[in-house]
A and B are shown apart, each in its own frame.
Chain A
Amino acid sequence: MQELQAEHKKRITPKRPRDYLCWAAAIAVVAALVYTTVTNENYGWPVVFSYFTTDAIIEGLLLTLVLTVVSMALGIVLGLLLAVMRMSHQAPISGLATLYITFFRGTPVLVQLIFWFNIAALYPNVSIGVPFTDISTPVDVNALMTPLTAAIVGLTLNEAAYMAEIIRGGFASVNRGQYEAADSLGMTGFTRLRHVIIPQTMPAIIPATGNQVIGMLKGTSLVSVLGVAELLNSAQSIYARTYQTIPLLIVASLWYLIMTLALSVPQSMIERRFSRSTRRPAAVATATKESLL
């Protein structure tokens, strides 16, 4: 009977001192942070709340969103073009794309933004025209390159370089056998691309693009140096008047945090759906709607 009882005994891993110690340490850190944020009046929480939804801040917030959407959309289009060029069998074409990507990924965005803002110093007058005709329009670059234009141009051109690499990576992830199988059925280039290859690039491209969107949202704060009244710049304009620097930086930070958290929910759903996509092909099919078949 002794042995039968032993078979029924539960197995327990006793808690060790270090398990409690970790909890104690974490609680202590959080408690200290809470204590200081509540008691230190320099945080200026009443100021934070009073400015949180003020017109200037909301307008800045909207401009941040517009900049993110526009630069991202244009960046994806240009990135696709660059990726196609980069994958070209024509060495000069792929060389041009490589040069572009190397340059834009190898220099800081902040420098690029300031550069575009000052491009008129390099090319004061450009004329746009139809080659071999008299039709042409002179363009005053200085007037054209407003802070907002420079911001969109700078963010777009930089984003395109990163998107090009993401898209290229997506295509590289498709097995060569897939091209051969499509060829052996007699599919021509476009059909093969549209129905076989592109759907299979999506599991690699979509989650990475989601990350880029979140990065872009935060990256737009850089254009504040050009005087574009986006979220950070709007906060700066207020504290330049009121000297309430910290409370207004908190306002901006909280808005950035809210927006990135809002984006990270769909992002993590997308990532879960596309993870190990070869084992979960239904996700690929539904994501691309598998329209024709």
Chain B
Amino acid sequence: MKADGTIVARKLCKSFGSHQVLRGIDLTVAAGEISCIIGPSGSGKSTLLRCVNGLETVDRGVLRVNGEDFGYVEKDDAYHAVSPQRLAEQRSRVGMVFQQFNLFPNMTAESNVMSGPVLVKKVDRKVARERAQELLAQVGLAGCGHKYPAQLSGGQQQRVAIARALAMDPSIMLFDEPTSALDPELVGEVLAVMRDLAHHGMTMLLVTHEMAFARDVADEVLFMDEGVAVERGDAREVLANPREKRTQEFLERVL
């Protein structure tokens, strides 16, 4: 099974009822590339991200993740939805980190990290536990494995969530405003973990309001407004010298 860590979207469309959230979005993320989606709230950034691991279904357009059509197979007449098992398998190769962490409150930090490998991949529990401890150490939480999410700070919870996603050995990591729910003094520790991950060559697609992080770490920035990709290009270039008027206005407000 090839999992080359690429994302390709062409003319992606998505509506909620009569409201068009995505209006023909194009997106390309190469293997090992870090891509940031920025834009005002309600612009469809999160929806686009959620489409990439099937939390939202796509109405129209092409979506290829890890080199294969995601959630659907292309046939002569139309795209046909794949079986739930096949979809789950595709999802397991795409890690997702949520704004609200979404750790399982009934499991310890370690069990959270083990949950994917043990319950989905049927990895031996002992092996999974060792791997979970490695990953918790990697995100700076060695020795916190026995704690429940409620006993951890927001920043710690989000780092556990990152470790949980990494435990599935994904080829792509998606981050949906990973620091937006955090107290300002806790943002840094989560960004540090993400920066570390970026340096290790993980393909990353993230929705963020952290412009400094985008400038330092991202290869490419996509500015979205009202479901349209307004401007796309080299991260430092777009953030420093935006060409489009809407991008300029947005950056003036947030910087």
Contacts and interface: CB of A to CB of B under 8 A. Distances in A.
Residue picked from B93, B95, B105, B148, most chain A C-beta under 10 Å: B105
Given A181-B104, A284-B105, A293-B114, A191 B119 contact: yes
Interface stretch (B28-36, B82-90, B189-197): B82-90
B116 interface: yes
B118 A293 contact: yes
Nearest to A192: B119
A128 to B, nearest CB: 37
A185 B165 CA distance: 7
A43 B149 CA distance: 58
A292 B118 contact: yes
B105 A186 contact: no
Contacts of A186: 88-93, 116, 120, 168
B119 A184 contact: no
Contacts of A77: none
Contact of A199 (B106, B118, B151): B106
Interface residues of A, number: 30
Contact of B107 (A187, A189, A290): A290
A281 interface: yes
B204 interface: no
A177 B100 contact: yes
B94 A185 contact: no
Contact of B98 (A177, A189, A280, A284): A177
Contacts of B103: 181
Contacts of B106: 196, 199-200, 281, 284-285, 288, 290
A165 to B, nearest CB: 23
A278 interface: yes
Given A184-B55, A281-B106, A290-B107, A189 B119 contact: no
Contacts of A89: none
Contacts of B55: 180, 183-184
A57 B83 CA distance: 61
A62 interface: no
Interface in A21-78: none
Contacts of B140: none
A279 interface: yes
Contacts of A279: 150
Contacts of A273: none
Contacts of A178: 102, 104
Nearest to B55: A180
B165 A184 contact: yes
Interface in A152-197: 175, 177-178, 180-189, 191, 195-196
Nearest to A287: B106
Contacts of A96: none
Contact of B84 (A189, A199, A288): A189
The 3 closest A-B pairs by CB, nearest first: A186-B92, A184-B96, A181-B102
Interface of A: 175, 177-178, 180-189, 191, 195-196, 199-200, 277-282, 284-285, 288, 290, 292-293
Interface of B: 53-55, 84-85, 88-96, 98, 100, 102-108, 111, 114-116, 118-120, 125, 148-151, 161, 164-165, 168
26 contacts: A177-B102, A181-B98, A181-B102, A183-B54, A183-B55, A183-B88, A184-B96, A184-B165, A185-B116, A185-B119, A185-B120, A186-B91, A186-B92, A186-B168, A196-B104, A199-B106, A280-B150, A281-B150, A284-B105, A284-B106, A292-B119, A293-B107, A293-B111, A293-B114, A293-B119, A293-B125
Given A184-B53, A278-B105, A293-B114, 10 more contacts: A178-B104, A181-B96, A183-B55, A183-B88, A184-B96, A186-B116, A188-B88, A200-B105, A281-B149, A281-B151
